[in-house]
């Protein structure tokens, strides 16, 4: 039981709240029970799918059980969420197995009365499914179906329009693709695809530097190519943010708010052994994560420091990447817990912090130097509003052209990189290239 994906999923869901990051809870549970990688992989799929569709699943639980999920004790609520997920979403698990395993889980953590409640609700769901084949689809016109807080739905309807809103909701409620970035073009893509296939990983070409993982994602971290740094897991939009800097071999780059360091590693490969990356973050634990990844890649040109980008000093530089902390609304498919942890007021708080970081860090840029200001948010308050405010108050800075650095469809009408998951098949990212006169 303790090395079973359902039990571990139950443990994680039971601890999930609106304050703690989901990945921290997952790591805590995995550290406690030390499951093998197949169980870890299955558990991650269950948990992340459930959190992604939490609003929808709870809505259906309310309809079938006649109870508001908040009125159901947390342990039973977690078991129901797993059972409803396996019956309604997961194609691997037969209905009878979903019911039996949930009932047995309830018996092991509670009592026969609780197990009876779980059994009755799940069997009612199965009967309803068998009698009314399209009853679940008929619920799609309810806002709860969107599995998104009301304040985000309201914002996105205004920003994206009704058609864009529906497509965006569908996009962030799906398990997003994972990508492999080829660190250096030492081998052709076909050979890398073949080598990965031999390791049980199915991929296809997305671009000259990226592969989409079609199957075997959990095995990537075990490959020789990953361990020696030939490949990394990175979204193409994240890499495009780095491309906006357009650095060359031998350049010195300051990467602030950099942890866990995926962009830093890409920068290090671009500047080469003769270049240098100063990567920093305000949280010591995240800096340690960055250092561990540097050890894996063996990069000697990255130095990590704990720095507060709103007030600490940096050396002068020609290139600076500010991957600013944000609400993360562009990566909700990948990090679904964000939407349940954020609130509307966070956007203004983040916007203030982002402006403070950009204003302070700009002091350490040489004349004719370049700052790339980026977020993984699609909210205008965190993107163009911050850039415009900064430029209005700092006339010695101006927008610079990125047209040759990223795919043209990713460039908005004002010249910044701006991606949307449902349009571009990548994470939602914003990046503006700013030059000091």
pLDDT score recorded for residue 187: 58
| Measured distance CA(139)–CA(275) in Å, rounded | 56
Residue 1 scores a pLDDT above 60:
no
Query: What is the tens place of the pLDDT at every residue in 246-272?
Result: 999 999 999 999 999 999 999 999 999
Note the pLDDT of residue 133.
80
pLDDT beyond 80 at 298: no
Residue 210 has pLDDT above 90, yes or no: yes
pLDDT in tens, 45-65: 999 999 999 999 999 999 999
For the chain, what percent of residues have pLDDT higher than 90? 84
Q: Prior bond to 260 cis, omega within 30?
A: yes
The residue-averaged pLDDT of 393-399 equals 98
**pLDDT at residue 138 is higher than 70:** yes
Q: Name the band, by pLDDT with cuts 50, 70 and 90, for residue 388.
A: very high
Mean pLDDT of the region 337-352? 97
Which pTM was predicted? 0.94
Report residue 260: phi and psi, to 5°. -85, 0
Q: Which two tokens stand for residue 349?
A: 């708080």
Domains and CATH numbers, the chain: 5-146 (1.10.940.10), 236-436 (3.40.50.150)
Does the pLDDT at position 85 exceed 70? Answer: yes
- DSSP letter at 173 equals T
- Worst-scoring range by mean pLDDT, 2-6, 184-188, 344-348? 184-188
Within 10 angstroms of residue 24's Cβ, the number of other Cβ atoms is: 11
pLDDT-wise least confident of 35-39, 142-146, 404-408, 425-429: 35-39
Query: What does the alpha-carbon distance between residue 376 and residue 420 come to, in Å, rounded to a whole number?
Result: 10
Q: Quick one: pLDDT band at residue 186, thresholds 50, 70, 90?
A: low
Q: What angle, rounded to 10 degrees, do the helices at 5-15 and 22-33 form?
A: 130
Mean pLDDT, the chain, whole residue set: 94
Residue pair 247/405 in contact by the 8 Å Cβ criterion:
no
Task: Give residue 318's pLDDT band: very low, low, confident or very high (50, 70, 90).
Answer: very high
The tally of CA atoms less than 13 A away on the side-chain side of residue 361 is: 31
What would you measure as the largest C-alpha separation in the chain, in angstroms? 73
- Pairing type for strands 430-436 and 252-256 reads unpaired
List alpha helices for 272-377, DSSP H: 284-297, 337-341, 345-361
Please tell me the distance from the alpha carbon of residue 60 to that of residue 66, in angstroms, as a whole number: 10
Interval 217-228: pLDDT, tens? 888 988 989 888
Closest CA to 387 of 377, 397, 378: 397
Q: What band does 93 get if pLDDT is binned at 50, 70 and 90? A: very high
d(CA 134, CA 130): 10
- Both tokens of 362, joined, read 């700009």
């Amino acid at each position: 039981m303790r090395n079973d994906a359902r039990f571990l999923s139950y443990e994680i869901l039971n601890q999930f709240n609106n304050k703690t990051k989901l990945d921290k809870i997952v790591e805590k549970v995995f550290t406690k029970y030390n499951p093998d990688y197949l169980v870890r992989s299955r558990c991650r799929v269950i948990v992340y799918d459930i959190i992604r569709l939490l609003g929808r699943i709870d809505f259906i639980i309310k309809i079938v059980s006649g109870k508001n999920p908040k009125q159901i004790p947390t342990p039973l609520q977690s078991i129901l969420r797993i059972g409803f997920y396996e019956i309604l979403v997961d194609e691997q698990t037969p209905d009878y197995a979903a019911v039996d395993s949930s009932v047995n889980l309830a018996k092991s953590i509670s009592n026969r009365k609780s197990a009876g409640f779980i059994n009755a609700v799940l069997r009612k769901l199965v009967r309803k499914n068998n009698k009314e084949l399209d009853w679940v689809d008929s619920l799609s016109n309810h806002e709860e179906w969107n599995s998104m807080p009301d304040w985000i739905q309201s914002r996105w309807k205004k920003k994206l329009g009704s058609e864009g809103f529906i497509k965006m909701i569908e996009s962030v409620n799906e398990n997003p693709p994972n990508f492999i970035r080829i660190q250096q073009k030492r081998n052709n893509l076909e050979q890398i695809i073949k080598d990965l296939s031999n390791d049980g990983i199915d991929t296809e070409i997305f671009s000259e530097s990226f592969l989409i993982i079609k199957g075997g994602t959990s095995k990537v971290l075990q490959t020789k190519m990953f361990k020696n740094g030939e490949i990394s897991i990175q979204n193409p939009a994240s890499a495009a943010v780095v491309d906006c800097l357009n650095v060359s071999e031998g350049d010195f780059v300051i990467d602030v708010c950099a942890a866990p360091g995926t962009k830093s590693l890409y920068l290090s490969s671009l500047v080469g052994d003769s270049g240098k990356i100063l990567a920093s973050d305000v949280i010591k634990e995240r800096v340690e994560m960055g250092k561990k990844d540097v050890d894996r890649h063996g990069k000697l040109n990255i130095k990590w420091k704990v720095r507060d980008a709103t007030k600490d000093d940096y050396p002068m530089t020609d290139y600076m990447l500010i991957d600013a902390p944000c609400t993360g609304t562009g990566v909700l498919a990948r990090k679904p817990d964000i939407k349940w942890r954020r609130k509307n007021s966070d956007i203004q708080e983040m916007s203030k912090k982002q402006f403070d970081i950009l204003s302070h860090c700009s002091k350490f840029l040489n004349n004719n130097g370049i700052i790339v200001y980026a977020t993984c948010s699609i909210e205008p308050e965190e993107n163009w509003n911050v850039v415009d405010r900064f430029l209005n108050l700092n006339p010695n800075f101006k927008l610079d052209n990125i047209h040759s650095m990223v795919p043209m469809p990713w460039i908005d009408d004002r010249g910044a990189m701006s991606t949307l998951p449902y349009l571009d098949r990548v994470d939602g990212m914003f990046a503006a290239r700013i030059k000091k006169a």
